[in-house]
Amino acid sequence: MKIRPERLRSGDMIGIVSPSSPPNQESLERSLTFLEGLGLKWKFGEHVKDQYGYLAGKDDERLDDLHAMFADPEVKGIICAGGGYGSARYTDKLDFDLIRDNPKIFWGFSDITFLHTAIGRYTNLITFHGPMLASCVGKESFHPLSAKMFEQLFEPMELHYDERISPLESLSGGVVTGEIVGGNLSLLANTIGTRYEVETKGKLLFIEDVGEEPYRVDGLLNQLRMADKLTDAAGIIIGDFSDAEPKKRKESLTLDEVFDHYVGRLGKPVVKGFKIGHCEPHFAIPLGAEARLNADERSLTLLPGVE
């Protein structure tokens, strides 16, 4: 049984953590005005502003911040300042009992995919793949639709995505319903062979990435293919793949050709073009929630992520 965290209310406290790389501090500070505009209070984790090489503090420090926010009864939701790299370094030390006993909103994307996948697998808590504070909210490019996506945290609501938001293309037709899982393709591939391996059997697999050339996307999808993650999935949702132009080779397959090779011939619903990922607008989704992918009408519907 999936656990939906309790909705937010005006005046609630948000915990801000840096689970991966150091966030841009100026952008992070600007994002706080947005939270206040939602009627929320906020508090930083102890190590949000730390830097340890390419990490936002040492592994135990970032883990302690995450645990502290789940344990803090005053904190009603946790939003990640940014991604980058590093969350997988301490995932094997996560206290899943603590998280399961204190279910609350957990929001982020990119490198946070590893945490989403592990938490979803071992606690059944629905978490949220959405724009983060320093890397999205605090930037001038932050889109009104991205801002609107935070409304789903205050009121249980169905989310609907169709071509009024962005052009969509069906690679394979059909209609399917199932739990939505996934996130950043590179991080999903990194889970393979670990205890936190993404489970796709009978589920809708969502993928996105940034800065990966077609040959790299090819290799990542091939890894999922050989682990049976693509054949096990009930349907495939392809989000945004920005900055994916070939750079190392003059001759290259296109990204569309790569997608067609790996998921266009599976005989199950596959739709691409969703503005979910490293993009603006960024359509935020509740991972672990029930969803319906209609590849014939090119639409996606998701049930509420909060209680």
What's 225's domain CATH number? 3.50.30.60
Asked if residue 175 and residue 145 are part of one domain, the reply reads: no
Asked if residue 91 and residue 35 are part of one domain, the reply reads: yes
How sure is the predictor about 142, in pLDDT bands with cuts at 50, 70 and 90?
very high
Say whether pLDDT at 10 is over 90.
yes
Say whether pLDDT at 90 is over 90.
yes
Distance of CA 96 to the CA centre of its chain: 19
pLDDT, residue 206, reads 98
Asked if residue 23 and residue 80 are part of one domain, the reply reads: yes
Does residue 226 lie within any of the structural domains? yes
Q: Which of 115, 134, 153 is the last residue of a domain?
A: 153
How sure is the predictor about 137, in pLDDT bands with cuts at 50, 70 and 90?
very high
Q: Which of 153, 169, 191 is the last residue of a domain?
A: 153
Does residue 144 lie within any of the structural domains? yes
Asked if residue 198 and residue 148 are part of one domain, the reply reads: no
C-alpha to C-alpha distance for 80 and 75, rounded to whole angstroms: 13
Q: How would you classify the pairing of strands 290-294 and 175-184?
A: antiparallel
Asked if residue 113 and residue 163 are part of one domain, the reply reads: no
pLDDT, residue 200, reads 98
C-alpha to C-alpha distance for 64 and 7, rounded to whole angstroms: 24
Q: Which of 153, 177, 206 is the last residue of a domain?
A: 153
Give which of 139, 154, 149, 138 is closest to 33, Cα–Cα: 138
Domain count of the fold of the chain:
2
Does residue 1 lie within any of the structural domains? no
Per DSSP, helices labelled H in the chain are 25-37, 59-71, 96-101, 113-123, 144-148, 185-191, 214-226, 229-232, 255-263
DSSP labels, 23-58: PPHHHHHHHHHHHHHTT-EEEE-TTTT--BTTBSS-
pTM of model > 0.85 = yes
C-alpha to C-alpha distance for 154 and 95, rounded to whole angstroms: 27
Asked if residue 104 and residue 206 are part of one domain, the reply reads: no
Q: How many CA atoms lie within 13 A of 124 on its CB side?
A: 4
pLDDT, residue 250, reads 80
Average pLDDT (134-155) is 97
Asked if residue 296 and residue 207 are part of one domain, the reply reads: yes
Asked if residue 146 and residue 25 are part of one domain, the reply reads: yes
Asked if residue 202 and residue 176 are part of one domain, the reply reads: yes
Does residue 2 lie within any of the structural domains? no
Does residue 6 lie within any of the structural domains? no
C-alpha to C-alpha distance for 123 and 119, rounded to whole angstroms: 5
What's 72's domain CATH number? 3.40.50.10740
Please say whether the beta carbons of 82 and 134 come within 8 A: yes
pLDDT, residue 128, reads 98
Does residue 236 lie within any of the structural domains? yes
pLDDT, residue 85, reads 98
CA dihedral over 110, 112, 118, 119, signed as positive or negative? negative
Longest dimension (CA), the chain: 56
pLDDT by residue (tens digit) across 12-34? 999 999 999 999 999 999 999 99
pLDDT, residue 192, reads 98
Say whether pLDDT at 249 is over 90.
no
Phi then psi dihedrals of residue 267, to 5 deg: 75, 30
Residues catalogued as catalytic: 110, 208, 278
Does residue 3 lie within any of the structural domains? no
- Residue 37 belongs to what domain range? 13-153
Q: Mean pLDDT score of the chain, rounded to an integer?
A: 97
Asked if residue 175 and residue 48 are part of one domain, the reply reads: no
pLDDT by residue (tens digit) across 255-297? 999 999 999 999 999 999 999 999 999 999 999 999 999 999 9
Q: Count of residues for the chain?
A: 307
DSSP labels, 63-107: HHHHHHHHH-TTEEEEEES--SS-GGGSGGG--HHHHHHS--EEE
Look at the block and give the residue holding tokens 């935070």: 150
Please say whether the beta carbons of 274 and 265 come within 8 A: no
C-alpha to C-alpha distance for 287 and 117, rounded to whole angstroms: 9
At 5, is the secondary structure helix, strand, or coil?
coil
Give percent of the chain above pLDDT 90.
98
Asked if residue 18 and residue 139 are part of one domain, the reply reads: yes
Does residue 8 lie within any of the structural domains? no
Asked if residue 178 and residue 145 are part of one domain, the reply reads: no
